[in-house]
Amino acid sequence: MQIIRFSQAGGAPQYGWLLDDKIGLIEGSPFAAFRRGEAAIELEKVDLLSPVEPSKIICVGRNYVAHAQEHDVDVPEVPLLFLKPPSSIVGPGGTIFLPPQTQRVEHEAELAVVIGQRSRWLNPETAKAAILGYTIANDVTARDLQRRDGQWTRGKGFDTFCPVGPWIETDFDPADAVVTCNVNGELRQMGSTRDMVFPVLQLIAYASSVMTLEPGDILLTGTPAGVGPLVDGDELVSSIEGLGELRNPVRAEPPH
Ligand code: MG
């Protein structure tokens, strides 16, 4: 099932499920018991929103060997975790703003895991039951600030630096899916999730040994090789086989 979050005519956000190009309402929460309404709303007549409103965005650094190599660093011996703030989220079609403090913003297309239930101390066997589904995210990064600060909070944490969507797919196998990133129609990144250093269930179990995972939290699983710059006017498309594509325009942040 494909779960979306959307608004009609600027109204309050609602959850729905997709059947081809029609939406049915989800009555109740997709993270608890719910009923599916008849799919009768035209997809093209609504505004898609980020399908999640996480309490935290857990990210994993250097989880593909080829990406670690392009930055001339080793892959970590245990997963390298960091956080992005929920305020960094934008939905499908949402604009990524380039802040004035940075001269080098880069794209990182990533598979995102959506947590379905509150959990702690999972192991790779029990982790699967804690997952609601999967979506696409981009771990947009101010590379110059990431390097300058040492800590990654600023470089990874600006508003709009975490596009997410277009929907949550509950039937998805993360073992071997192609992740791609295009900028203005030019292919920049392509890799397979099979090349992750730490696979999804191991990452979820590891994160849950540190912090309680809440329904709607997302975990970004790292980016394949080919990261590169984003500039004003770019059109960013992050896509994953089986999960659709996530489109976001890139613009300079207007002066304040
Ligand atoms: Mg990343």
Q: Both 89 and 183 in a single domain?
A: yes
CA 180 to centroid of ligand 1, rounded, Å? 14
Per-residue pLDDT of 20-34, as tens digits, reads 999 999 999 999 999
Q: Both 246 and 138 in a single domain?
A: yes
CA 137 to centroid of ligand 1, rounded, Å? 9
H-helix or E-strand spanning residue 203: helix 200-208
Q: Both 33 and 106 in a single domain?
A: no
CA 50 to centroid of ligand 1, rounded, Å? 18
Boundary residue ending a domain (26, 49, 72): 49
CA 39 to centroid of ligand 1, rounded, Å? 35
CA 85/CA 156 separation, integer angstroms: 9
Residue 207: how many other CB atoms lie within 10 Å:
25
Domain span at 80: 57-252
Q: Both 116 and 174 in a single domain?
A: yes
Residues with Cβ within 8 Å of residue 246, at least 6 apart in sequence: 92, 136, 137, 138, 163, 164, 165, 166, 237, 238, 239
| Total domains in the fold of the chain | 2
CA 107 to centroid of ligand 1, rounded, Å? 9
Q: Both 42 and 122 in a single domain?
A: no
Q: Both 63 and 19 in a single domain?
A: no
CA 254 to centroid of ligand 1, rounded, Å? 26
Q: Both 35 and 150 in a single domain?
A: no
User: Which of 113, 83, 128 has the alpha carbon at shortest distance from 221?
Assistant: 113
Q: Both 11 and 69 in a single domain?
A: no
Judged by DSSP in three states, 154 sits in: helix
CA 222 to centroid of ligand 1, rounded, Å? 5
Cis-peptide, bond into residue 76, ω within 30° of zero: no
CA 224 to centroid of ligand 1, rounded, Å? 9
CA 60 to centroid of ligand 1, rounded, Å? 6
Per-residue pLDDT of 122-181, as tens digits, reads 999 999 999 999 999 999 999 999 999 999 999 999 999 999 999 999 999 999 999 999
Using a 10 angstrom Cβ sphere, with 0-12 exposed, 13-18 middle and 19 or more buried, the burial of residue 139 is buried
pLDDT, residue 155, reads 98
H-helix or E-strand spanning residue 67: helix 65-70
Kindly report the CATH number assigned to the domain that includes residue 162: 3.90.850.10
154, HSE (Cβ side, Cα atoms, 13 Å): 13
Q: What percent of the chain has pLDDT over 70?
A: 100
Q: Both 97 and 179 in a single domain?
A: yes
Per-residue pLDDT of 187-202, as tens digits, reads 999 999 999 999 999 9
Q: Both 245 and 150 in a single domain?
A: yes
